[in-house]
């Protein structure tokens, strides 16, 4: 009898074991029709078929066939101060930033406002089954303090940082390069690797960062080589043209980051819609990641990312899925996966539900360099678990009556799923929902 556990979850269990883009869908996951997941304190002790274990029934929480027990979701790129910018009407990227996003971010100099918004933001993550995220704060250190304080209390896996901007933005959110550097140093010393928190060096994009600021970013990465680096790349043609105008010596958008040694295995770049063949190779060679943001691309009218084109050229390029709130229109992972499917169809491909799910779980963990502790079920991994109710709505319940296999079931969830499908959520073995 296996006694070294605090509680067990019994039911249909799904978890990834490999990347479906490289090994194929069927070889990429474990699925137990009648499985069990053993948890002790904050860790997974074991996972497998129920028949292989002798368990104390009073420690077992059982779920019927309408539920799936799976790793919780991971969102690799979003802006928490932009919540009130969601639904900002009718602008392209640069105009949308000026009209909506920058105005929202300017409010985060107020620590009390930032704390109130940070708590609501994290509750929204929890509602949607997201326990790990790569988050952009505002340019104010108060916004980072507020987020990390709230995330630490909830024990969520949050990788976040102060957005660096020292030019080409409203005065209310510009900070001198050296000031941002000094503020970031203090934030790193206080919060980096504190519990489940990790600091991310966050230059917004080269348009709003001077050469002086990028040089300071390079120095910071040299001082703290385990920092995540997050920024944007090749989102739309207007942005790319402006970027290359400001950096005339650069061979490409990606080359700007590379010149300052900012392309590392811990670099996560949002979008990548217009990456050239040379840029794709450069990012893959540096083992950097792309955060695919299909919802915001749709909303802003950007060219959709050609996910399969990237994978065909460089299967080793790591890609994850992200909501990109606030140009993104929903935190719900099912909505983001559905948008990724639509983007793939625009390039005459069809993103399978298994691949989409990977990009929003283990693929996200790999992008954020936390795949050794979360993103799948394995002994020693943190017990970050989502219990999915596949019949959570009337529409789902009706449609699920004719589902014939697991792939179809996940695709129906992608098509009809809402936040209400998240029946329970655990992070580090603690029930949050």
User: Between these two residues, 57 and 33, which has the higher pLDDT value?
Assistant: 33
Residue 258, pLDDT score: 98
d(CA 275, CA 209): 20
Confidence grade of residue 126 (pLDDT, cut at 50, 70, 90)? very high
Least confident of 84-88, 89-93, 345-349, 351-355: 89-93
Mean of all residue pLDDT scores within the chain: 96
Please give the span between the terminal C-alpha atoms of the chain, in angstroms, as a whole number: 30
User: Tens digit of pLDDT for each residue in 99-113?
Assistant: 999 999 999 999 999
Q: How many residues does the chain have?
A: 433
Question: For residue 200, which of 248, 246, 134, 251 has the smallest C-alpha distance?
Answer: 134
User: Tens digit of pLDDT for each residue in 150-168?
Assistant: 999 999 999 999 999 999 9
Main-chain phi, psi angles of 305, to 5 degrees:
-60, 135
Instruction: Find out whether 191 and 164 touch, Cβ atoms under 8 Å.
Output: no
Confidence grade of residue 249 (pLDDT, cut at 50, 70, 90)? very high
Summarize the confidence of residues 387-401 as an average pLDDT: 98
> 182 Cβ partners below 8 Å, 6+ apart?
none
Summarize the confidence of residues 86-105 as an average pLDDT: 91
Distance from the Cα of residue 357 to its chain's centroid: 12
Indicate if the pLDDT at residue 279 is higher than 70.
yes
Summarize the confidence of residues 364-369 as an average pLDDT: 98
DSSP 8-class letter at 382:
B
DSSP 324-355: -TTTS----HHHHHHHHHHHHHHTT----HHH
Rg (CA), the chain: 21
d(CA 272, CA 399): 35
Main-chain phi, psi angles of 7, to 5 degrees:
-155, 165
Indicate if the pLDDT at residue 355 is higher than 80.
yes
The count of other CB atoms within 10 Å of the CB of residue 46 is 18
Indicate if the pLDDT at residue 263 is higher than 60.
yes
- Which residues, listed in sequence order, are joined to residue 40 by a DSSP beta bridge? 43
φ/ψ bin of 171: left (φ > 0), alpha (ψ from -120 to 50), beta (otherwise): alpha
Residue 3, pLDDT score: 59
Residue 347, pLDDT score: 94
Q: How far is CA 17 from CA 9, 35, 315, 367, 368, in A?
A: 19, 16, 17, 16, 17
DSSP 79-116: EGGGGGGTT--S--HHHHIIIIIHHHHGGGGSHHHHHH
- Which residues, listed in sequence order, are joined to residue 48 by a DSSP beta bridge? 36
The pTM (predicted TM-score) of the whole model is 0.97
Residue 100, pLDDT score: 93
Q: Where are the domains of the chain?
A: 7-72+375-431, 73-367
Indicate if the pLDDT at residue 118 is higher than 60.
yes
- Which residues, listed in sequence order, are joined to residue 69 by a DSSP beta bridge? 13, 387
Residue 56, pLDDT score: 83
Distance from the Cα of residue 133 to its chain's centroid: 5
Supply angle C-alpha 395, 398, 402, rounded to 5. Answer: 130
- Which residues, listed in sequence order, are joined to residue 290 by a DSSP beta bridge? 269, 319
Residue 74, pLDDT score: 98
Rounded to 10 deg, the angle between the 141-154 and 111-127 helix axes is 40
Q: Which fold has domain 73-367?
A: TIM Barrel (3.20.20)
- Domain 7-72+375-431: state its class: mainly beta
């Amino acid at each position: 009898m296996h006694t070294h556990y605090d509680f067990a979850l019994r039911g249909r269990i799904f978890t990834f074991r490999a990347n479906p883009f490289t090994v194929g869908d069927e070889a990429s996951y474990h699925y137990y029709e009648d499985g069990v997941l053993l948890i002790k304190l904050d860790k997974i002790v074991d996972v497998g078929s129920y028949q292989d274990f002798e368990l104390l029934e009073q420690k077992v929480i059982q779920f019927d066939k309408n539920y799936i027990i799976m790793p919780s979701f991971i969102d690799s790129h979003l802006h928490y101060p932009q919540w009130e910018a969601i639904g900002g009407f009718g602008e392209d990227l640069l105009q949308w930033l000026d009209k909506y996003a920058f105005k929202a971010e300017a409010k985060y100099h107020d620590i009390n406002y930032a704390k109130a918004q940070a708590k609501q933001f994290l509750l929204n993550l929890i509602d949607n089954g997201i326990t790990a995220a790569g988050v952009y704060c505002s340019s104010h250190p108060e916004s980072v303090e507020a987020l990390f304080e709230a995330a630490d209390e909830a024990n969520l896996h949050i990788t976040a940082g102060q957005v660096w901007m020292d030019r080409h933005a409203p005065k209310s959110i510009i900070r001198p390069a050296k000031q941002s550097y000094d503020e970031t140093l203090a934030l790193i010393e206080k919060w980096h690797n504190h519990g489940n928190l990790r600091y991310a060096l966050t230059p917004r994009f080269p348009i709003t960062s001077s050469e002086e600021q990028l040089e300071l970013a390079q120095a910071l990465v040299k001082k703290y080589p385990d920092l995540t680096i997050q920024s944007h790349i090749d989102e739309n043609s207007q942005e790319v043209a402006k970027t290359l105008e400001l950096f005339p010596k650069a061979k490409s958008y990606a080359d700007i980051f590379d010149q300052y040694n900012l392309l590392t295995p811990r670099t996560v770049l949002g979008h990548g819609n217009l990456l050239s063949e040379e840029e794709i190779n450069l990012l893959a060679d540096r083992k950097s990641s792309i955060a695919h943001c299909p919802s915001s691309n749709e909303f802003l009218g950007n060219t959709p990312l050609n996910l399969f084109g990237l994978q065909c050229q460089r299967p080793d390029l790591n890609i994850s899925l992200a909501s990109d709130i606030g140009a993104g229109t929903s935190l719900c992972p099912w909505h983001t996966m559905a948008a990724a499917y639509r983007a793939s169809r625009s390039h005459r491909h069809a993103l399978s539900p298994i691949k989409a799910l990977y990009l929003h779980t283990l693929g996200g963990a790999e992008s954020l360099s936390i795949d050794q502790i979360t993103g799948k079920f394995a002994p020693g991994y943190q017990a970050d678990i989502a219990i999915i109710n596949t019949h959570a709505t009337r529409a789902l319940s009706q449609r699920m009556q004719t589902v014939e296999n697991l792939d179809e079931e996940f695709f129906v969830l992608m098509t009809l799923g809402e936040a209400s499908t998240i029946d329970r959520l655990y992070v580090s073995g603690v029930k949050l929902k």
